[in-house]
Amino acid sequence: MRDRAGKIYLRRSLYEVFPGGRLVKGILTICRKELADHFSSTRFILLFYLILMVSLVTAFMVGSGLRDELKDVAKPTFVFLMLFTSPGKLFSLIQFIAIFGPLMGIILGFDAINRERSSRTLSKLVSQPIYRDAIINGKFLAGLVTIIVLLLAIILMISGLGLLLIGVVPGPEEIMRLFIYFVISVFYIAFWLGISILFSVAFRSMATSALAAIACWIFFSFFVAMGASVLADVISPIDPTRAANNPELIIDHEQTRKIISLFSPMTLYSEATTIILDPLRKTTQSLLLMGPMERLSISRFQNPLPLSESIYIVFPHLICLFAITLVCFAISYASFLRQEVRST
């Protein structure tokens, strides 16, 4: 009994001595509560099995196709990464996470705050001996841990299935590329988790916050890409009579469209992960104007890019993804701290 009491006393003293100890304790308490709610909810179980089923079906189709294509030929370098980049009959895993990954974040966070309000438990949480910001920090941390568990399970299951289908063991660089892809995917979905928590703070109705988050997902994922082409036609129009003799017009039009499309987080994520998982991709540009020197350079460097070069190409994309995730959560954090919490 003395040892146990001593351990409890030591734990409490550590929380009290170190700066921010009480804040960390409150965050971990809220995080454990939210994780228990997430992992025991029917919503999470259905979401997990749905994503896992689609991922495994996609990986099985891609793996079966690769096995048939590479049956009598030498396996190329980085063939294991093709499980994640090669499209099956529908889409690749990168495309699946890019399109439907935001729904994971939205489902985990659209009712994070207003659910506590509607059940009148938010005032009870605030009255506990924890800092107020520990509530929203703990909820975001719990959602982040849930996203990590989901993505890790998907990647490990697909990797195991790929080992069975194509019989290729990934090398160290392939594992590192998969790890970086995993980190980028976590931040990408965490951005949408922050968006949904922001709407959960802003709206008292759970249905309204869910609809607002889904509307943002549809706008940034689909309408921005369509609007980029329309705006590019207005800003940098292509004259058919001059385009044949002046390819710079086509390049300017494509660059304008690309700059506008980068306002979509899905475009940032898709381009970054494609370069990371496909070492043969050497640029995010879809069109290149090449002269004699560029052609000579391309012909001399046909080998896959090293990991450091791939990261260098998409480094601006990564910075933008991390920045918008932090900014979105910061807005949610500030909005929650400014709101008044009533007991009725």
pLDDT tens, residue by residue, 181-200 = 999 999 999 999 999 999 99
How far apart, in whole angstroms, are the C-alpha atoms of residue 165 and residue 60? 8
How far apart, in whole angstroms, are the C-alpha atoms of residue 95 and residue 313? 20
Q: Which residue has the higher pLDDT, 242 or 206?
A: 206
Closest CA to 198 of 329, 341, 38: 329
Q: For the chain, how many helices (H) and strands (E)?
A: 16, 0
- For the ranges 198-207, 231-240, 287-296, 333-342, the lowest mean pLDDT is seen at 287-296
The confidence score (pLDDT) of residue 284 equals: 67
Q: In terms of C-beta density within 10 A (0-12 exposed, 13-18 middle, 19 or more buried), how is residue 283 classed?
A: exposed
Q: Which residue has the higher pLDDT, 48 or 123?
A: 48
The confidence score (pLDDT) of residue 83 equals: 82
- First-residue to last-residue Cα distance in the chain: 43
pLDDT higher than 80, residue 248: no
Angle at 137 between CA 133 and CA 141, to 5 degrees: 170
How far apart, in whole angstroms, are the C-alpha atoms of residue 150 and residue 48? 7
Cα 285 to Cα 254, 260, 274, distances in angstroms:
9, 14, 12
- Backbone dihedral region for residue 25 (phi beyond 0: left; psi -120 to 50: alpha; all else: beta): alpha
Q: What is the pTM of this model?
A: 0.84
User: 299-313 pLDDT, tens per residue?
Assistant: 444 677 888 888 998
- Please name the amino acid found at residue 50: L
Closest CA to 162 of 181, 178, 183, 186: 178
> Residue 283: CB partners within 8 Å, gap ≥ 6?
313
What average pLDDT score do residues 120-130 get? 73
Mean of pLDDT over the chain: 79
Closest CA to 105 of 27, 186, 208: 186
What average pLDDT score do residues 141-151 get? 92
